[in-house]
């Protein structure tokens, strides 16, 4: 039965999140933040009781699900864990209103990084750690983690991961989906450990280093500082975070190919080459456009490269307020709002592969005009691409920008000006973090009306789950037999 399958999967997800709550709880004990102990312990204990109550009487029940049920289970699971993530923030008093705590939790798990907080440094260390931890969990995907840890989800595991992961091309790097999930999480964990060590050596405290590693690898953007990464004013820290943001924006399957010495699969990967080219071109253009803002070439390159990579990968960290940069520079950065990272990465956005497919289709249409009887196919990774991929991408783009327009209208209903509402909508659906104007990098989302925060929460989850997983239930076709 669907209900039993959903309860078993959601209970396991909640228990995993409960176990991971031990990380911020450990920091609470270390820093003597006794006022937040119960805020973590109670939801942790409740999740363990729930998983026992559900799974013990149904231990012989085998999880089964069809395609419709898979989408619904993944969507509901993300809603459930978002509510659980909000509990410590709200119960501890760190965020007094539940709607704000939920917004912050959704923003964390969806790796958006938009915040309702204006004063971050006064929060308990453990709550800041939790905020960044939600990025790390949501970046690779809580369902992916569950499939990696729980072999009982082998049935339907690939369908679950397909409903959660990003990009039009979704496949396995190994024959077994549980093995694939474990490998991806091992790579993810290794990068996190490496960045934590590097940031510690660069001068951060261990707590800040781990928090920012969580936020970087999840391409989220929550920071423990009010001024984000700019508060450290360190070239070394900027470079380390920029490198790992860039790496997190790459399809994680490519790292598996490195370990298995399948270097040709990397050098022929069309999306990876396009990603490199776009980032390089934007860094050069922004560096040139900042002439007159920063005196030396080194400073221009430092600030431009960090901000380009941060927005391109939809991380949202900042080392400067780009709203104070020239209009031409702001426009170049605005372009990144429409792109995003690679499919199979922790980045949000439309994804490079989709723009690459559309670009190749435009070339083919141009060739057809010149050679009406010619037959042209899209080539990806050195091979002909699926014939239906253009229709897949076109449909996604239509839904994506339709949701952006609706979200823009909701923002306007909340008394935002059109420009703030539009860039805010792009930020929510693309999981980017900052917008422009009233929602710029030095601002926050706390002043928005409650109904806008609820809608933005929905838009963030929809963007993280590639739209269809969250909105398919509003389409009549979903309910057709």
What is the predicted pLDDT for the residue at 147?
A: 53
pLDDT tens-digit series, residues 93-103? 999 999 999 99
Cβ proximity of 430 and 314 under 8 Å: yes
Secondary structure, 3-state, 80-104: HHHHHHHHHHHHCCCCCCHHHHHHH
Say what the pTM is.
0.93
Percent of the chain with pLDDT over 70: 92
Percent of the chain with pLDDT over 90: 67
Arithmetic mean of pLDDT over the chain: 89
Taking residues 246-266, report their average pLDDT.
Answer: 89
Q: What is the DSSP letter of 379?
A: E
Residue 362, in any domain of the structure: no
Residue 466, in any domain of the structure: yes
Rounded-to-integer distance, Cα 65 and Cα 147, Å? 15
Q: How many residues does the chain have?
A: 481
Q: Which of 68-72, 284-288, 351-355 has the lowest mean pLDDT?
A: 68-72
207 C-beta neighbours (distance < 10 Å), count: 18
Does residue 141 have a pLDDT over 80? Answer: no
Q: What's the distance, CA 271 to chain centroid?
A: 18
Taking residues 248-261, report their average pLDDT.
Answer: 89
Q: Name the β-bridge partners of 294.
A: 291
Residue 92, in any domain of the structure: no
Residue 80, in any domain of the structure: no
Give the residue numbers spanning the domain of 395. 388-479
Rounded-to-integer distance, Cα 233 and Cα 222, Å? 17
Q: What is the SS3 assignment for 396?
A: helix
What is the predicted pLDDT for the residue at 177?
A: 65
260 C-beta neighbours (distance < 10 Å), count: 12
Virtual CA dihedral for 74, 78, 80, 81, nearest 10 degrees? 130
pLDDT tens-digit series, residues 182-238? 788 889 999 999 999 999 999 999 999 999 999 999 999 999 999 999 999 999 999
Taking residues 158-175, report their average pLDDT.
Answer: 54
Q: How confident is the model at residue 159 (pLDDT cuts 50, 70, 90)?
A: low
User: Which range scores top for mean pLDDT: 125-134, 170-179, 249-258?
Assistant: 125-134
What is the predicted pLDDT for the residue at 478?
A: 77
Residue 458, in any domain of the structure: yes
What is the predicted pLDDT for the residue at 162?
A: 57
Q: How many domains does the chain have?
A: 1
Residue with tokens 């040139």, as numbered in its chain: 288
Rounded-to-integer distance, Cα 190 and Cα 239, Å? 19
Name the token pair of 401. 């920008």
pLDDT tens-digit series, residues 333-374? 999 999 999 988 889 999 999 999 999 999 988 988 888 888
Residue 410, in any domain of the structure: yes
Residue 106, in any domain of the structure: no
What is the predicted pLDDT for the residue at 170?
A: 52
Does residue 157 have a pLDDT over 90? Answer: no
Residue 65, in any domain of the structure: no
Q: How confident is the model at residue 173 (pLDDT cuts 50, 70, 90)?
A: low
Q: What is the DSSP letter of 384?
A: E
User: Which range scores top for mean pLDDT: 56-60, 87-91, 144-148?
Assistant: 87-91
Q: Which of 22-36, 48-62, 157-171 has the lowest mean pLDDT?
A: 157-171
Q: How confident is the model at residue 145 (pLDDT cuts 50, 70, 90)?
A: low
Q: Which of 72-76, 348-352, 356-360, 414-418 has the lowest mean pLDDT?
A: 72-76
């Amino acid at each position: 039965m669907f209900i039993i399958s959903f309860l078993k999967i959601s209970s396991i997800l909640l228990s995993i999140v409960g176990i991971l709550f031990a990380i911020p709880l450990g920091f609470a004990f270390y820093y003597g933040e006794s006022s937040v102990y119960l805020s973590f312990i109670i939801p942790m204990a409740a999740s363990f009781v729930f998983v026992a109550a559900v799974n013990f009487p149904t231990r012989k029940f085998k999880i089964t699900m069809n395609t419709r049920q898979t989408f619904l289970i993944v969507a509901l699971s993300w809603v459930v864990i978002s509510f659980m993530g909000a509990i410590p923030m709200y119960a501890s008093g760190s965020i007094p209103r539940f709607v704000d705590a939920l917004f912050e939790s959704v923003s964390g798990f969806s790796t958006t990084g938009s915040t309702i907080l204006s004063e971050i440094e006064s929060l308990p260390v453990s709550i800041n750690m939790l905020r960044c931890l939600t990025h790390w969990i949501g970046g690779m995907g809580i369902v992916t983690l569950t499939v990696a840890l729980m072999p009982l989800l082998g049935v339907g595991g690939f369908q679950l991961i397909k409903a959660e992961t990003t990009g039009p091309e979704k496949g396995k790097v190994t024959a077994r989906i549980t093995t694939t999930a474990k490998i991806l999480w091992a790579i993810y964990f290794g990068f996190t450990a490496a960045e934590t060590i590097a940031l510690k050596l660069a001068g951060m405290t261990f707590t800040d280093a781990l928090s920012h590693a969580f936020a970087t690898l999840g391409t989220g953007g929550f920071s423990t500082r009010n001024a984000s990464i700019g508060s450290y004013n360190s070239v070394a820290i900027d470079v380390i975070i920029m490198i790992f943001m860039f790496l997190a924006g790459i399809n994680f399957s490519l790292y598996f190919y490195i370990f298995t010495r399948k270097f040709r699969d990397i050098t022929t990967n069309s999306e990876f080459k396009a990603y490199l080219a776009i980032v390089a071109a934007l860094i050069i253009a922004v560096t040139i456009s900042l002439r007159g803002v920063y005196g030396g070439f080194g400073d221009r390159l430092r600030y431009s490269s960090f901000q380009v990579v941060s927005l391109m990968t939809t991380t949202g960290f900042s080392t400067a307020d780009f709203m104070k940069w020239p209009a031409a520079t702001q426009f170049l950065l605005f372009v990144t709002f429409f792109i995003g990272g690679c499919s199979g990465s922790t980045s949000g956005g439309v994804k490079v592969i989709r723009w690459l497919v559309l670009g190749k289709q435009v070339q083919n249409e141009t060739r057809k005009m010149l050679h009406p009887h010619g037959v042209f196919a899209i080539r990806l990774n050195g091979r002909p691409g699926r014939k239906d991929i253009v229709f897949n991408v076109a449909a996604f783009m239509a839904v994506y920008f339709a949701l952006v327009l609706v979200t823009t209208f909701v923002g306007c209903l909340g008394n935002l000006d059109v420009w703030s509402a539009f860039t805010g909508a792009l930020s929510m659906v693309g999981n980017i973090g900052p917008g422009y104007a009233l929602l710029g990098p030095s601002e926050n989302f706390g002043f928005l009306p409650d109904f806008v925060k609820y809608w933005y929460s929905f838009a963030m989850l929809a963007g993280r789950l590639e739209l269809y997983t969250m909105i398919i239930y509003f389409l009549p076709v979903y309910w057709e037999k």
